[in-house]
Structure 1
Amino acid sequence: MRVFRIAKKQYLKDLSGEGSRLFGGRWNKKGMAMLYFSDSLSTSLLEVLVHMDFKHLTNDFGYIEIEIPDALIDTRLKLKNLDENWRDNPPKSSTITLGTEFIKTNKKLALKVPCAILPMASNILINPRHKDIAKLKIIKVADLDIDSRLVLSTGL
């Protein structure tokens, strides 16, 4: 499976999960390293835009595309398995606990979860401390080239 992440260019190849370890997220508690990727570049862009003002998405941002062997991804989690309020903000303890337990059990390299913004899309959570982390293959690292109409539509 190919997955995508948008970040400041200086951090694109950093697969340590340090940012999520420092701040936590919807699927991990603070102190637990995790990498957040998405099933498409568009989903990654939605994830970035929901967390930051568009005017901060400058030329300093790029994206990374990686390939994860399908056998290393746990795809069993379905929407019906999640609490009714799993999309709430701030994130509920149920999703934080679920992702943190995934990291602690250390069985698979990645966990496929629904995207809170658009649940028919998926995010892929990667355990940066899993023994198979070296099996990730970087396909592409590139600048994020966003159509100027998107910037203009925000009124900035």
Structure 2
Amino acid sequence: MHGLDQGRFGPTWDSGEGADRVGGRWNSKGVRAVYCSIDPSTAILEVGIHKGFRTLDTIPHVMTAAVITDATDVHAVDSGAVPNPNWLRPGIPSAGQQAFGDNLLRRHRFVAIPSAVSSHSWNLVFVASVAAGAYALKLQETFALDTRLHPPATP
């Protein structure tokens, strides 16, 4: 799994603090969900969509890679199993969507779900206290955005 965070949050990459404070696509406020992607490219796209490539170009970020000890701990959510197909599209999450995610996160160590940014890519969501001992940090390194993704303005 791969995550991309501002450099200052690198040491606490799996705290779920941001999701706890404001909620997220698959968790309600008060649930310390950690959002990652299966591959680094999806992590970059997810953060780029939410924060903008300018932010990735101008504020230090770190790419984190972690491994899951046992792949059978991952519950993959088929798009047909989601009650409302709009949940898999870009947009503001609904209370029903967050409750659905909260339930998944209570029942499974890791939840893999299609990305709203790229429907053929996968995100991975987990709560560190639920998944304790089932994953390990592999590496964390300074992220450098390809500058072509934030070109200078043209007149």
Fold shared by both chains (TM-score > 0.5): yes
**What amino acid maps onto 2:121 in structure 1?**
A
**What amino acid maps onto 1:94 in structure 2?**
G
**Corresponding residue of 1:42:** 41
User: What residue ranges of structure 1 are gaps of 5+ in the alignment?
Assistant: none
Return the offset for 1:97. Answer: 1.4
Return the offset for 1:41. Answer: 0.8
**What amino acid maps onto 2:101 in structure 1?**
G
TM-score after normalising by structure 1: 0.87
**Corresponding residue of 1:97:** 99
Return the offset for 1:13. Answer: 3.2
Cα separation, 2, equivalents of 1:94 and 1:119:
20
Cα separation, 1, equivalents of 2:55 and 2:134:
33
Return the offset for 1:74. Answer: 1.1
| TM-superposition CA deviations, 1:27-48 (whole Å, max 9, x none) | 0011111000001111001110
**Corresponding residue of 2:8:** 10
User: What residue ranges of structure 2 are gaps of 5+ in the alignment?
Assistant: none
Q: Is this contact kept in 1: 2:63–2:141, CA < 8 A?
A: yes
Cα separation, 1, equivalents of 2:98 and 2:41:
24
Return the offset for 1:52. Answer: 1.3
| TM-superposition CA deviations, 1:114-134 (whole Å, max 9, x none) | 10111110000011221x422
Cα separation, 2, equivalents of 1:74 and 1:32:
18
Q: Is this contact kept in 2: 1:115–1:121, CA < 8 A?
A: yes
The number of residue pairs the alignment matches comes to 149
Q: Is this contact kept in 1: 2:53–2:149, CA < 8 A?
A: no
Describe how 1:77-92 pairs up with structure 2 within 5 A.
77-82=77-82, 83-86=84-87, 87-92=89-94
Cα separation, 2, equivalents of 1:56 and 1:118:
20
Cα separation, 1, equivalents of 2:109 and 2:103:
13
Q: Is this contact kept in 2: 1:85–1:92, CA < 8 A?
A: no
Cα separation, 1, equivalents of 2:24 and 2:54:
22
**Corresponding residue of 2:72:** 71
| TM-superposition CA deviations, 1:14-59 (whole Å, max 9, x none) | 1121110001111001111100000111100111011113222235
Task: Say what the alpha-carbon RMSD is for the aligned residues.
Answer: 1.7
Cα separation, 2, equivalents of 1:53 and 1:134:
33
Identical aligned residues as a percent: 23
SS in 2 for 1:31: coil
